[in-house]
Chain A
Amino acid sequence: MRYLPLTSEDRADMLARIGVGSIDDLFAEIPAGMRLGDLLDLPRHKGELEVERLLRGLASQNVTAGSVPFFLGAGAYKHHIPASVDHLIQRSEFLTSYTPYQPEIAQGTLQAIFEFQTQVAALTAMDVANASMYDGSTATAEAVLMAHRITGRREAVLSGGLHPHYAEVVRTTSRMTGDEVVTLAPDVLAREDLCACVTEATSCVVVQSPDVFGNLRDIAPLAARCREKGALLIAVFTEAVSLGLVKPPGEMGADIVVGEGQSIGNPLGFGGPYVGLFAARQQYLRQMPGRLCGETVDAEGRRAFVLTLSTREQHIKRDKATSNICTNSGLCALAFAIHMTLLGEKGLRRLASINHAHTIDLADRLETVPGVEVLNETFFNELTIRVPGDAADVVERLAARGVLGGVPVSRLLPGQGLDDLVLVAVTETVSEADRAAFVERLEEVVRC
């Protein structure tokens, strides 16, 4: 077995040192009736070649985003990732190290986290950011719990533009603790009146921009309303690239900002692993979940970084912790940080511009398709379009014609009467030819 260095001779020597006759003596504490005599009914070990053959076989049954004109978004986006990103995160010292609990020999990870926190804070225009969460949806649920701790209230208001799966994650957590959740109806056109929903009982309002339907939302008036009522405003984004072109939530008065960081540095990966971004105002620092990396000095006075404020965390506070999170998304956060470092201000702005320009182009082209309607007044790189007939069926037929043409809204919100809507995302990876092909195929599909 190629992964097991001990030889039979080694094992015999070791048993002798231990002073037992056989390996089974070391498992004697397992009650006899429960010890397995035989091997389990699973295949025996395999060589690399065989494993590779098996897994390649499974991989080949999937249609990859890069092989077709591709327009899916709804919380996960296909962006180009520079080759150096994956090379660097595969460095042994990043890939195969543990959480940096011994800072003297983990400064690489720690400095990268410190830089990541600074990047996220800058991007969102917030005071502090943590070292990452699992993903955007779990970060959102954590933000709601944090708001409850801060306000002492237990009612969250969820915008109808919040990604339905994010809303469901929040509701699942709240159902367990008995906290109240007010979920507004799906808000395709961004016309809901969230301000009217904020009362003295409201702990927080959760609003997404660009929202799940692609609309941009000026949340400044809502922030003012929240402040007036003593509630917190939680701003969510699922497309981090948008922040290169869109006003950051921190400038519009958000108290907590959470988002999905997958777009930067991380592949689609069928939904995970991704990286949750979490930022807040300074005054709420000690109620934040997750790890924080801070700057300090070592015994020689040299700058150094260390995990800090851990008295918030589960390994110290146990049942009084701000969260149960332990392992987070370290390596995905590193990929985010490296890609962001490569982009820089100039690159991110340009990347965002390209995304927006391509989306404007597609929106213009779609206006020419009979029976198809673009519903958005504003957008960044994602649109909601109305198609004649059943959107899921349209998407299936597009797939049969070699175009992965978007996410039917009914996949996220079944039974809500939104069966003729498709979410269509356009990134820099979508070429002019792809856009043309999409419109052409869509015309064919809606015609018949």
Chain B
Amino acid sequence: MLMTKGRPAQAVALTAEGRRTFTSNRGLSIEEGLIFEIGRPEVTGVDLEEPAPFEHRLGACERESAIGLPGLSEPEAVRHYVRLSQKNYSIDAGIYPLGSCTMKHNPRLDEAMARLPGFADIHPLQPQSTVAGALELIHELSRWLVVLTGMEAVAMSPKAGAHGEACGMMAIKAALLARGEAATRRIVLVPESAHGTNPATATRIGFEVRSVPARADGTLDVAEVKARLDDSVAAIMLTNPNTCGLFERDIALIAEAVHEAGGYFYCDGANLNAIMGKCRPGDLGVDAMHINLHKTFSTPHGGGGPGAGPVVLSSRLARFAPVPFLRRDEAGLQLVEHAQEALDHDDLGPARSKVVSGKPGSTFPHPALEAFGRLTAFHGQMGMFVRALAYMLSHGADGLRQAAEDAVLSANYIRASLRDLLSQPFGDHACMHEVLFDDHWLKGAGVSTLDFAKAMIDEGFHPMTIYFPLVAHGAMLIEPTESESKASLDLFIATIRDLAHSVRDGDTERFQHAPSLAPRRRLDETRAARTPVLKWTKQGAALPSPSPRR
């Protein structure tokens, strides 16, 4: 989650410390220019034979201008990217306690499996007879997801969590269209604590968002939901456990009320890690839920993706799942790529049901009798599917449940170890896999949540999620995951305690100029937004570069 508040309006004044070096390097922290400064257009790091002379067949479309791309030889390229990499924090290097992000260990077995040519070197449009193993893998992963969540079916193609949200809400829209209620049911209820993607998704699918406040303990009140339910409501979008790290204990009642009012229940599955093997969303009344394979099932985050967001669907929505999908019949697994498209907006009629001719009972993982359309060019994030299945097979039903328990145990251990110093917005109760603190305890100390987070960087830690969820003032949301040893948790806790004592002792110096030991100090984000420089240009290369190379 991205913090949205507390950014410094201007660069913080520099404290004079540390001596300058000729290179601007600081030991192993090495400055690196841009490829446009160190590369040359005539250099290449790839040896390719000169083709025999040919007469082009490009018609009037031959490129006449230079592209403007520098090249690097292989040693230069390797050095460039290795140096860049060294400026990044990573889960491999330390705890990455970003609440809501589930930064757990990424097993290297999963990487190796995804790179097997049998998965990495196959084309999505090869004859199906040549990719039987790939289809079987998708089918097996589907089975795991369906069993784990207790749902009817799963749509595998969504490419990330937000894409999965779109998939689920489109299925809901399609179901409403089929019921003839799409024009009248336009409201989607979203709690104030929701991820920003929820309201953004609902709007994008053509719904209107109505907010639902949380009660004093951070959870949703079924009465508040009921008060907003009528025949204009299409769905509720709810995260469970919610973004405050709390299990919505009224969830079944809420689901029942929403269903009774003719709406659907979309669950944001970002926090599935807390409950896998402990309870099943299908038993809670969920109609659609995306699963972030890059969170719960440990496909690596890669500095911002790729992810994968398969969507499990209840029996009420399964028939509307998008293409493509797998169908098992006498001949084995078939990839169905074309449900008849219903192009008329007002008619997602039954005509399309003839496209899938198999018996409904034989159509696992999902029947998709009235598929709402297509979300992406091909079949989804196969590379992530392989990693996720490797992760699930490794853990098994027992290991996944143990992982959920350890994640919840670790979050509560942090809560219990910090509750005397930090403040919790909703009182001290057991949390799920993440623990939420606010900035009440910082009041009057001259230290903000942001300052505190930046001081953690100097101590060698990635900060927790800050300023999210919005329902807590100056939020600090900590999610340790099950990947941390007790020694790692203890050091993390001891560090936060030490920082907290500094706050209490009035040692604001430690915070206000932090970080001072990272590759960069605080950035002038106002300047970045006011005069956007989004690419390198020859003329624009005016900013001082620390490297003598320039």
Contact = CB atoms under 8 A, between A and B. Distances in A.
Given A59-B118, A72-B125, A91-B85, A122 B59 contact: no
Contacts of B381: 272-273
A294 B121 CA distance: 35
A169 B377 contact: yes
A61 B117 CA distance: 11
Q: Which of A6, A243, A323, A343 has the most B CB atoms < 10 Å from its CB?
A: A6
B160 interface: yes
B539 to A, nearest CB: 13
Given A45-B399, A267-B120, A348 B34 contact: no
A297 interface: yes
B384 interface: yes
A308 B529 contact: yes
A283 interface: no
Contacts of A330: 301-306
Contact of A29 (B130, B140, B247): B247
B58 A356 contact: yes
A298 B524 contact: yes
A70 B130 CA distance: 13
A216 B56 CA distance: 12
A345 B115 CA distance: 29
Q: Which of B103, B251, B488, B543 has the most A CB atoms < 10 Å from its CB?
A: B543
A244 B67 contact: yes
A58 B134 contact: yes
B28 interface: no
Given A302-B544, A360-B57, A316 B395 contact: no
Interface residues of B, number: 221
A246 B125 CA distance: 26
A269 B532 contact: no
B275 A30 contact: yes
A296 B523 contact: yes
The 4 A-B residue pairs whose C-beta atoms are closest, nearest first, are A344-B71, A59-B118, A271-B378, A331-B302
B169 to A, nearest CB: 8
B363 to A, nearest CB: 19
A269 B382 contact: yes
A268 B304 contact: no
Interface stretch (A101-109, A198-206, A225-233): A101-109
Contact of B69 (A52, A123, A273): A123
14 contacts: A34-B283, A36-B280, A84-B77, A94-B85, A108-B87, A123-B67, A178-B345, A268-B121, A270-B123, A303-B546, A318-B200, A326-B196, A341-B45, A354-B49
Interface stretch (A11-19, A365-373, A435-443): A11-19
Contacts of A357: 51-52, 54
B181 interface: no
Contact of B395 (A45, A117, A132, A327): A45
B300 to A, nearest CB: 5
A360 B279 CA distance: 59
Nearest to A209: B61
B476 interface: no
Contacts of A177: 204-206
B351 interface: no
A60 B201 CA distance: 39
Interface string A52-76: 1011111111111111001010111
B331 interface: no
B304 A104 contact: no
Given A17-B417, A338-B77, 14 more contacts: A4-B399, A18-B416, A34-B284, A36-B278, A61-B133, A95-B300, A98-B304, A123-B69, A246-B63, A247-B62, A292-B534, A311-B529, A314-B199, A330-B302
B327 interface: no
A384 interface: no
B546 to A, nearest CB: 5
Contacts of B535: 114, 117-118, 121, 128-129
A342 B39 CA distance: 10
A41 B12 CA distance: 56
A368 to B, nearest CB: 17
Contacts of A51: 109, 113, 390, 393-394
Dominant SS among interface residues on chain B: loop
A29 B244 CA distance: 14
Q: Which of B13, B89, B105, B338 has the most A CB atoms < 10 Å from its CB?
A: B89
Contacts of B533: 294-296
Given A45-B398, A323-B204, A331-B302, A107 B519 contact: yes
Interface string A295-322: 1111111111011111101111111110
B536 A4 contact: no
A216 B63 CA distance: 12
B117 A66 contact: yes
Interface in A150-175: 163, 165-166, 168-169, 171-173, 175
B426 interface: no
Contacts of A377: 57, 59
Given A39-B398, A96-B92, A172-B375, A218 B161 contact: no
A331 to B, nearest CB: 3
A302 B133 contact: no
B374 A52 contact: no
B457 A102 contact: yes
A251 interface: yes
A4 B482 contact: yes
A75 B374 CA distance: 15
B43 interface: yes
Nearest to B337: A411
Nearest to B522: A299
B534 A294 contact: yes
Contact of A122 (B68, B101, B105): B68
B410 A14 contact: yes
B216 interface: no
B520 A304 contact: yes
A111 B162 CA distance: 25
Contact of B90 (A17, A86, A93, A331): A93
A414 interface: yes
B246 interface: yes
Contacts of A310: 2, 4
A395 interface: yes
A263 to B, nearest CB: 13
B409 interface: yes
Interface string B97-126: 010010101110101110111111111111
A18 B413 contact: yes
Interface in A411-426: 411-412, 414
Contacts of A445: none
Nearest to A68: B130
Given A109-B88, A306-B525, A165 B396 contact: no
B81 A91 contact: yes
B220 to A, nearest CB: 13
B23 interface: no
B67 A137 contact: no
B227 interface: no
Contacts of A42: 144, 147-148, 392, 396-397
A57 B399 CA distance: 23
B518 interface: yes
A319 B521 contact: no
A176 B534 contact: no
A244 B386 CA distance: 33
Given A1-B399, A356-B56, A135 B377 contact: yes
A253 interface: no
A306 B528 contact: yes
Contacts of A66: 117, 121
A62 B122 contact: yes
B532 A285 contact: yes
A72 B50 CA distance: 24
A76 to B, nearest CB: 6
A13 B416 CA distance: 12
Contacts of B54: 353, 356-357, 360
Interface in A1-41: 1-7, 10-11, 13-15, 17-20, 23, 25-31, 34-36, 39-41
